[in-house]
Amino acid sequence: MTRFFCFAFLLLIAFSSTSQEITIEQAVMGRSNDLYPSGKKQLEWMNNGSTFTFVEDGKLMQEGLKGKAKKISTKEELQNILGFDLKRFPSYSWDEKGRLVFERDQLRYSVDLRRKKFTTQALPEDAQNQDLHKGTGAVVFTRGQNLYISKDGKDRPITNNPEGVLAGQAIARYEFGITKGTFWNEAGTKLAFYQKDERHVTDYPLVEYGSTPAKLKNIKYPMAGSESEYASVGVYDVNSGKTIYLDFQRLKNDEFYATNLSWSPDGRFVYVAVVTRNQNQMILQSFNAGTGQLEKVLFQENDQKYVEPEHPMYFIPGKNEFLWISEKDGFNNLYRYTQSGKLISQTRASFPINDFLGFSDDGNACFVMGSGKNATENHLFKVNLSDMSMSRLTSEAGTHRITPSNDFTYFFDQYSNLTTPGVTQIINAEGKKQKTIHIAANPLENKKTGKVELLEVRADDGTLLHARMIKPSNFDQSKKYPVLVYVYNGPHVQLVSNSWNGGAPLWMNSFAEEGYLVFTIDGRGSSNRGKNFEQAVHANLGDLEMMDQLEGVNYLKSLNYVDSNRMAVHGWSFGGFMTTSLMLRNPGVFKVGVAGGPVIDWNYYEVMYTERYMDSPQDNPEGYEKANLKNYVDQLEGKLLMIHGNEDDVVVMQHNMSFINACIAEGVQIDFFVYPNHPHNVRGKDRVHLMTKVLNYIKAAL
């Protein structure tokens, strides 16, 4: 009896030690707590196309397609070459001469590990938006509103702009796939750059509370229906030091968007996809890079709702032809054009092509990423340019992240799915596996975490919607469980994926362990489903999205283990808009809601995004009025917590302030919390406080 008791006690200890709960703090800070699948750190291809490196225990390791990894350097050896200490092995890349390159303290180091020598290149102090041309070593950068070039150790200005005119930065508030503001031609002899004139855009006040007294920080924020920035494109000649500007001719005095800037391979022409202010038309134009004059309109695309080009031109090596990505036929496809704009052929994918990776070494094929038949996945495809046929190269179900070698002969294929935490392997250009580099263990193996399920729900018109459910580990179908619905449902975001944990952040698993079901559904308007699926919400944001979220609720109510009287909803940004919409326009469905950084009135949101999906307030006053959540505050049932970062420059605080004013006018009580000195998202250790507040509020109400 005593032996049995001791054995049972030891089993209990063993079970306790191997089955630990995940706290909210651990979940939010999960990457630092090793709660996410491991992978090869700092994995980089070398220039020979079949050799790669990675960092392991402070050692730089080299490995090929055959054989085992070998050490080629260590942090200590690198320190000896450089003559100073390093906290860790630096983030690096390999240049065309096989040198290890990294940046530190405004210096770019190029290290020859074999010869144990290095060179440095000084980077300008206070420089932002740096853009290096590797071939010439010239660097352009911004300081204040102006653009500069640093070459041969000397800095000189490219622009001399007045206050309010900014050069060399991303424009259009990062819409249309714009991520930067400078573009070198292949030879490094000319530089094209974006410039925006914001002098007529209204100043918007933000307050910094980190000093005494607090400081006013004005930003330029063009709201829907108001004046926007004026875009231009400059071309700088490195040799002459002169700058010309592209002549947009009839569009010069109009507000338009200059997007998807590209260079011809010979550096003679600059191409710009010009999108009109109403975003119904895109005109692809060719300009002379020496004079700035319009050479030709290659083609244009029109749509009754909106066009949204997000990719530059991709010129086919050795041919006067290029590929263009457009969803004009329903899904993002590749269209092959002559350099003069004549359509030759196209792919016929029935799913969106989301990313273009590059061309094969012989120029006969290219490689792209897309979902394939399952919209919750992401795969590598090879496109045969002779007939534009596509073949899928990644065979395993799931979400694949691909990094090609320099010659596109081999690819790092890092993938996961619902049952696979992570695999890193090498495949070739035919999709055949060459080597498995790393298989990640399940970091939640010894944690108490419930089952994650991917589900399918139908919208009112039969459209398939993808959903995800997280249950507690001790789930009992005979019990009734409260539910938290996490929502976004806006453009360019997909929450549900066939990836590790279903794409869910770990706080959802932690919350589920407290006896909740956590449910998410990607309704119409969300990404990766094609033009019709996303455009279905045009001009009436909130309507169809709510219908699809409520179809998710109906599905939940059909389950005998769901307590439909204890349901909560939470979301951020567009998800905050959806959370507030569901609480106000469908009162009684949810007992509690928490809306973070919510859009309340689309009149207050930025021009580029809002007028794409809602048209302008002048053209669509009914849509704006219907979506204005201040009109529904008197319908609130249940508890509602609104959260905002006081320095939010994306969804400005005016949204929440106007909503609170409306609540006061109607005598409606809500709760409100501000995160000082935070922009649109609350990150770092403060996010632990945020998620604790959100989930405690929901628990108290349910």
pLDDT at 253: 57
Residues 104 and 137 in one domain: no
The SS3 call for residue 463 is coil
Residues 482 and 553 in one domain: yes
Q: Report which DSSP code applies to 606.
A: B
10 Å CB burial of residue 493 (0-12, 13-18, 19+) is middle
Q: What is the number of alpha carbons within 13 Å of residue 96 lying toward its C-beta?
A: 6
Degrees to nearest 5, angle at CA 623 with 621 and 627: 120
pLDDT at 520: 98
pLDDT digits (tens, 9 = 90+) for 597-652: 999 999 999 999 999 999 999 999 999 999 999 999 999 999 999 999 999 999 99
pLDDT at 8: 38
Residues 315 and 255 in one domain: yes
Count the neighbouring beta carbons within 10 Å of the beta carbon of residue 22: 21
Residues 338 and 282 in one domain: yes
Query: Are β-strands 146-151 and 314-315 bridged in parallel, bridged antiparallel, or unpaired?
Result: unpaired
For residue 180, is it within any domain? yes
What residues form DSSP beta bridges with 365? 384
The SS3 call for residue 377 is coil
pLDDT at 33: 77
**Residues 260 and 313: beta-carbon distance below 8 Å:** yes
Q: What is the number of alpha carbons within 13 Å of residue 51 lying toward its C-beta?
A: 12
For residue 439, is it within any domain? no
3-state secondary structure 3-32: HHHHHHHHHHHHHHHHCECCCHHHHHCCCC
Q: Which residue has the tokens 């609104």?
A: 642
Residues 495 and 584 in one domain: yes
Query: Are β-strands 639-645 and 592-596 bridged in parallel, bridged antiparallel, or unpaired?
Result: parallel
For residue 155, is it within any domain? yes
Residues 689 and 655 in one domain: yes
For residue 640, is it within any domain? yes
Q: Which residue has the tokens 């530059």?
A: 312
Host H or E run for residue 428: strand 420-428
For residue 552, is it within any domain? yes
The single residue of 131, 522, 615, 648 carrying the catalytic annotation is: 648
The single residue of 50, 155, 438, 680 carrying the catalytic annotation is: 680
Return d(Cα 223, Cα 204) in angstroms, integer: 10
Using CA atoms of 63, 53, 417, 490 in order, give the dihedral in degrees to the nearest 10.
-160
Which among 98, 119, 140 is the end of a domain?
119
Strands lying side by side in the sheet with 592-596: 452-458, 464-470, 517-522, 481-486, 562-572, 592-596, 639-645, 671-675
For residue 504, is it within any domain? yes
Q: Which residue has the tokens 């193996």?
A: 445
What CATH number should be reported for the domain holding residue 689?
3.40.50.1820
Residues of the chain scoring pLDDT < 70: 1-18, 250-253
pLDDT at 10: 35
Enumerate long-range contacts of 539-544, CB under 8 Å, 24 or more apart: 539/305, 539/613, 539/614, 539/615, 539/620, 539/623, 540/623, 540/626, 540/627, 541/577, 541/602, 541/613, 541/614, 541/623, 541/627, 542/577, 542/578, 542/581, 542/585, 542/626, 542/627, 543/626
The structure tokens listed for 459 are 């919208």
Domain membership of residue 85 as a residue range: 41-119
Residues 498 and 559 in one domain: yes
The SS3 call for residue 70 is strand
Return d(Cα 694, Cα 489) in angstroms, integer: 19
For residue 258, is it within any domain? yes
The structure tokens listed for 511 are 């919350």
The structure tokens listed for 568 are 């909560």
Residues 533 and 612 in one domain: yes
* Total domains present in the chain: 3
pLDDT digits (tens, 9 = 90+) for 68-84: 999 999 999 999 999 99
Residues 178 and 260 in one domain: yes
Return d(Cα 658, Cα 82) in angstroms, integer: 57
Residues 108 and 136 in one domain: no
Return d(Cα 664, Cα 125) in angstroms, integer: 50
Count the neighbouring beta carbons within 10 Å of the beta carbon of residue 23: 15
Q: Mention every residue, 6+ apart, whose C-beta is less than 8 A from residue 331.
A: 349, 350, 351, 352, 353, 530, 531
What CATH number should be reported for the domain holding residue 303?
2.140.10.30
Count the neighbouring beta carbons within 10 Å of the beta carbon of residue 217: 12
Which among 119, 137, 156 is the end of a domain?
119
pLDDT at 5: 36
pLDDT at 15: 40
Residue 648 known to be catalytic: yes
Residues 109 and 144 in one domain: no
For residue 16, is it within any domain? no
Residues 552 and 640 in one domain: yes
Which among 394, 412, 431 is the end of a domain?
394
**Amino acid identity at 191:** L
The single residue of 573, 601, 655, 678 carrying the catalytic annotation is: 573
Return d(Cα 11, Cα 9) in angstroms, integer: 5
Return d(Cα 379, Cα 369) in angstroms, integer: 6
Return d(Cα 568, Cα 701) in angstroms, integer: 9
Return d(Cα 624, Cα 616) in angstroms, integer: 9
